[in-house]
Amino acid sequence: MKLFTFTATSPSIALQKAQKACGRDALVVSTKQIRKKSLTSDALYELVIAVEDKVALEKQTKTPKLKATFDDDILDNISKTAKQLSRLENLSNPLESRVTQSSIEAIKSEQKHSDFSQLKDEIGLLSDKIKILQNMLWDEKEDVKELSIPPEFAEIYNKAKSSGMKKEHLDEIMQESIKLMPPYMKNSSKTVKRYFFVLLKKMIPTRIEKPISKGEKKIMMFVGPTGVGKTTTLAKLAAKYSFLKHKNRVGIITLDTYRIGALEQIFHYAKMMKLPVQDVIDSEDFKKALNSLLYCDLILIDTAGSSQHDKEKILKIANFLKSTDHKIDVNLVLSATSKLQDLEDAYKNFSFLDIDTLIFTKFDETRGFGNIFSLIKSSAKPTSYFSTGQEVPDDIEEASGDFLVSCIFEGFVNKKVYS
């Protein structure tokens, strides 16, 4: 058994050199970094392999010295490296090893101080490198080369891109991250991902609803396109404030008198929770309804859903708001299933109502949440609630950056949290 040493700027390149010089049957004994990357020089890795004496002799007579070059065919490199990793894993499990016991003893006799626990750690590092190489396979239709994105950032870039996040936002965040991220965090995709979690979380403004103090009056109006779940969201919050989390007196006003089903729905919820409800047709009725419910701590106002392009209906909502001197928080309710372009269009057309917060519904009906992040970023409006299902009153979450970023990169899981 002969031992050979190869050096290169990365473990994968060293492995290629070893395979070309000694064949694919060579066994990797150890891999370690012998020089760290600096401003003036690349990192240097040392790979020690073992081959049978006969094979070593044949390779020395047939194989010329090789230069440390990087094969352009990344897919081929991944395949070769994966096969080598399979051999490495067999070294740590004698029952599954393809190497004979005599071969293992020969390696141990010539390399008495080899640290096999360290070798397993190196296997993990090589696995991460394979993962990085896989994510470097960019969509050739997209001109992402201009970003000069390091390979360790590829996985997080692809996930954010596929989540529906606006490319302009993603590229801006990526460029700033590459520039500002501490060098030691760029060594693996895991540390890069942790950095992005924290960064994106800090970019999501939220407004947590505080308990209503004694003597305080709070009025919330829910506006938005048709079918986004305004009435269901109102019912969930009515339950939360009246008996689930708080013990506030809650009243309900509905401006949605266009649809018989909508009236029946809101009156059904109000009856179940034993809450007062008023239906309103015009501005005069609206003022009277507000005055009749001023004994309540919280008044929730449901509005008729309308297309963001139906200016007449949106202007009617604006007239209701102008008809009273009471401060009304306007909450724009939007569906997480909508495309970013539709979300931006809805926000633009409802924004003249002086939107206070954003509420996003139907988290359980989509897999992409980057559109929500991009709307929050471009609008600079805080979000207050995420509706995570159709169950009343369970499926609603107080908005948090942690929850949204987790949905973007790991998918949605309904936790049914009340606070």
pLDDT confidence tier of residue 214, bands split at 50, 70 and 90: confident
More confident residue, 163 or 79: 163
Q: Which of 137-141, 217-221, 226-230 has the lowest mean pLDDT?
A: 137-141
Q: Is the pLDDT of residue 399 over 60?
A: yes
Per-residue pLDDT band for 130 (boundaries 50, 70, 90) equals low
At 131-150, the pLDDT tens digits run 555 454 444 344 444 556 67
More confident residue, 298 or 1: 298
Q: Report the pLDDT value the prediction gives residue 187, as an integer from 0 to 100.
A: 74
Mean pLDDT to the nearest integer, 19-38: 77
50's CB contacts (< 8 A; 6+ apart) are 1, 2, 3, 4, 26, 27, 29, 106, 107, 110, 111
- Angle at the Cα of 12 (from 9 to 16), degrees rounded to 5? 100
Q: Roughly how many angstroms between the first and final C-alpha of the chain, as a whole number?
A: 65
Which residues contact residue 253 at a Cβ distance below 8 angstroms, ignoring those fewer than 6 apart? 277, 278, 279, 280, 286, 289, 290, 293, 299, 300, 301, 302
Handedness of CA 334, 358, 360, 376 (dihedral sign): positive
Which of the residue ranges 92-106, 113-127, 211-225, 252-266 would you say has the lowest mean pLDDT?
92-106
Average pLDDT over residues 397-409: 93
| pLDDT score, position 146 | 52
Mean pLDDT of 26-51: 78
pLDDT over 90 at 253, yes or no: yes
Look at residue 114 in the predicted model and tell me its pLDDT: 52
Run of H or E including 378: helix 370-379
CB proximity list for 385: less than 8 A, separation 6 or greater: 233, 237, 359, 360, 396, 397, 398, 399
pLDDT at 235 over 80: yes
Residue-level pLDDT at 129? 55
Say whether pLDDT at 65 is over 50: no
**What confidence category does residue 331 fall into, taking pLDDT thresholds of 50, 70 and 90?**
very high
pLDDT reported for residue 400: 93
Mean pLDDT value across residues 151-175: 86
Residue 139 or residue 36, greater confidence: 36
Whether the per-residue pLDDT at 371 is higher than 90: the answer is: yes
> Helix 311-322 crosses helix 283-292 at what angle (to 10 degrees)?
50
Amino acid 243 reads F
| pLDDT, position 402 | 93
Instruction: Return d(Cα 369, Cα 77) in angstroms, integer.
Output: 34
In this prediction, residues 353-367 reach a mean pLDDT of: 95
**Is the separation of the CB atoms in 274 and 249 below 8 Å?**
no
Closest by Cα among 397, 357, 349 to 376: 357
* Residue 263: pLDDT over 90: no
CA-nearest of 388, 405, 369, 361 to 203 is 405
Q: Inform me whether the pLDDT recorded for 363 exceeds 80.
A: yes
Select the more confidently predicted residue: 87 or 320: 320
Q: Which of 108-122, 148-162, 171-185 has the lowest mean pLDDT?
A: 108-122
Half-sphere exposure (CA, 13 Å, Cβ side) for 302? 34
Give the full edge-to-edge strand order of the sheet including 218-223.
277-279, 250-254, 298-302, 218-223, 329-335, 357-361, 383-387, 396-398
Asked if pLDDT for residue 94 goes beyond 50, the answer is no
